[in-house]
Homo-oligomer: A and B are copies of this chain.
Amino acid sequence: MDAVSRIEQALDQAIIQAEAPGAPPGLAAAMRYSVFPGGARIRSRLCVAVAAACGDDDPALADATAASIELLHCASLVHDDLPCFDDADTRRGRPSVHRAFGERLAVLAGDALIVLAFQTLARGALATPSRLGVLLTSVGASVGMPLGIAAGQAWECETEVDLSDYQQAKTGALFSAATMAGAMAAGAAAEPWRLLGERLGEAYQVADDIRDVVSDATELGKPTGQDAALGRPSAALQLGIPGAVERLEHLAADAMASIPDCPGAAPLRALIRLEVLRLLPKSLAPTARTLVAA
């Protein structure tokens, strides 16, 4: 089975647990809506790809780890879209969860998805329970305090913000968790995989800034021009589009160079090159010459 099918199946199995008899139907539906159909599943595919590069000796755990990371990502989107934060009407081309199900079920869907993510890890680690503690610690750190997604969102409520700390917490932490947890799920050391996740997280942020300027709302599935409208920091606005594409290429090169020696290093490098290209709007991909030519 390919990586995407493995992830979709693991996510479906997780959501089915939440839908078991006795579940309140509204919240069950809101949780499924929050997760399916998904976005690019980039974090979870990265996790599975690293596990594969490390030998993937426990595919069930790799899948569960990838699913837990995706569930946490989805939870963060649902809460980030809430009226008190971004007040987003749309997400992935359709109404945001609170628009479709109401604010109460959106809050609860986020909460229940966070819990489900950790339950999914525990279920996935049945065959290799000794890996659960480090996985939980690493994945938990990437979404909690002081340096995970919740911390990143909380920096938006502060008056003095270090931009790099903010982006590392809001976006980078879950990318690092994806690469590190992918390695841990395959029984490999996590630390050598941190830099790959950090660089890809930065690359994703830059690509997101570019898409916010260049894409239209239909292509993006959510409103565009938000960074300028909300005064948010943006590589595309600071460096211009060609400068931002160049920055993306540098980050991708750093990411690929950081891949540790492992059985699957070469295919992983090729995969990452393609993934980074996919992050760009179609019209801009040919301008990322170092990635196209590699």
Contact = CB atoms under 8 A, between A and B. Distances in A.
Interface of A: 17-28, 31, 75, 79, 82, 84-85, 102-105, 107-108, 110-112, 114-116, 118-119, 121-123, 125-126, 129-130, 132-133, 136-137, 140-141, 143-148, 150-151, 153-158, 165, 169
> Which are the 7 A-B pairs with shortest beta-carbon distances?
A23-B146, A115-B144, A27-B154, A18-B145, A24-B154, A84-B103, A112-B150
Contacts of A108: 79, 150, 153-154
A205 B123 CA distance: 32
Contacts of A104: 84-85, 153-154, 156-157
Contacts of A153: 104, 108
B122 A107 contact: no
Contact of A79 (B23, B107, B121): B107
Nearest to A82: B107
Contact of A27 (B28, B79, B151): B151
A146 B154 CA distance: 29
A95 to B, nearest CB: 17
Contact of A110 (B20, B21, B111, B118): B111
24 contacts: A19-B145, A19-B146, A22-B165, A23-B145, A23-B151, A24-B146, A24-B154, A24-B158, A25-B158, A27-B145, A27-B150, A104-B156, A105-B154, A107-B107, A108-B150, A108-B153, A110-B111, A112-B145, A115-B148, A116-B145, A118-B118, A119-B144, A126-B133, A129-B129
A202 to B, nearest CB: 17
Contact of A137 (B75, B119, B148): B119
B122 A136 contact: yes
A252 to B, nearest CB: 27
A16 to B, nearest CB: 10
Nearest to A26: B157
Given A24-B151, A155-B24, A84 B111 contact: no
Given A23-B145, A85-B104, 6 more contacts: A24-B155, A84-B103, A108-B153, A112-B144, A121-B136, A132-B136
Greatest chain B CB density within 10 A among A108, A114, A154 is at A154
Nearest to A152: B24
A151 B108 CA distance: 8
A136 B118 contact: yes
Contacts of A155: 24
A33 to B, nearest CB: 14
B157 A27 contact: yes
